[in-house]
Structure formats: structure tokens, C-alpha cells
Amino acid sequence: MSEKQNGFSLIELLIVVAIVLIIAAIAVPSLIRSRMAANEASAAASIRLINTAASTYNTIFGNGFPPSMAAVGTTGANPLSCTNAELLDSVLTAGTKSGYTFVLVPGATQLTGTSSSCAAGFGYSDGYVVTATPIGATTGKRTFCSDASGEIRVNPASIAAYSTPNCTDTTILSN
């Protein structure tokens, strides 16, 4: 007498695999769009944080606006000073976060030792421009920028970076 074997046939397994692949094909584009939206929201929030940190830097040190991301951020190498203000976390200070690259370009008028409370790393009296550009086409579609005015602007048309040192074109996202 032979025993009947229990289990799935090859055809049944192929049907299950095909159904799983169809569901994945439907779900993956939605997942990518959701991730891009989250990265863009994080970039806008990071720009807002950089604006707040730059204004705080200007107030605390009396040194104008920061000359670089390292000056306003956390480098971990130096004690708290106008060259390492520790107002941003080390991830944002490094310039890359959530699929975006952040660049802070200082203004044109640098303070001198006589008009600054800092001994080194003099700031700028005429502001800065900070940009957030997606690293790739799957990390985001919009480019963000802001300046000392605090207005966050967005370029929804492409992932092209803003021309620095201005940030005047496109749409205002928020103040």
C-alpha cells in the first residue's frame, strides 16, 4: 500500500510566486514615492534647522553669519567655539542627510578681527545661502534653498541645484 504524499505541487508554487510578484510590482512604486516625500520633508526641515542655527550663531558669538557648515555644526574635534558651535548634529554638519546634500555658501563681506568677538573663523555680515539637492533621482525630485531671510524656496521642476549665492527664483515654501 502506498501512502499519499502531502504538500504543494510545482504548479501551485508557481502560482503563489506569480501572485507575490504582482503584488510587489504594485506596491514598490508607492513605496518609492513615499520615501521620496519623506526625504523631501526631511530636507525642508533640515534647511529650517540650519536657518535657526545660523541665526543663533550670529546672536551667540556676535560673529556674523557662519562661514561654513562646520563652524555652525558639530565637528567633534574642537571645544565649543565660533569654529565649532555645535548647533547642528554631526550628520547634518557632514553635509549629507536623508538622500540630500546640503551646502552652505557664506556671503561676500567677511568680518574682521576688530568687528568680531571671535579670534579665528570670522563670520559674514551679509548672510549666507544654504541649498539641499537630491543625491539621485530616487531620493527626491525637488531642490530646496534658503538664505538669511529665512524663506525656504523650492524648485519643483528639476533636481538642478540653485545658482549660488542667490536663491531668488522659484516658489516660497515657508517662512
Lowest mean pLDDT among 43-47, 96-100, 112-116, 164-168: 164-168
Tell me what pLDDT residue 168 has.
65
Q: Which of 63, 101, 97, 69 is nearest to 82 (CA)?
A: 63
| Digit-coded pLDDT (tens) for 61-102 | 888 899 889 889 887 766 788 888 889 999 999 999 999 999
Q: Quick one: what percent of the chain has pLDDT higher than 90?
A: 35
| Digit-coded pLDDT (tens) for 131-154 | 999 998 888 888 898 988 888 988
- 52-71: burial string, b at 16+ Cβ within 10 Å, e else: ebbbebbeebebbbbbbbbb
User: How far apart are the C-alpha atoms of 82 and 84, rounded to whole Å?
Assistant: 6
Between β-strands 143-147 and 152-155, what pairing exists: parallel, antiparallel or unpaired?
A: antiparallel
Tell me what pLDDT residue 74 has.
86
User: How far apart are the C-alpha atoms of 108 and 124, rounded to whole Å?
Assistant: 7
| Digit-coded pLDDT (tens) for 98-113 | 999 999 999 888 887 6
Tell me what pLDDT residue 122 has.
76
Task: Indicate whether 41 pLDDT > 90.
Answer: yes
Name the residue ranges covered by the structural domains of the chain. 10-174
pTM of structure: 0.79
Tell me what pLDDT residue 62 has.
82
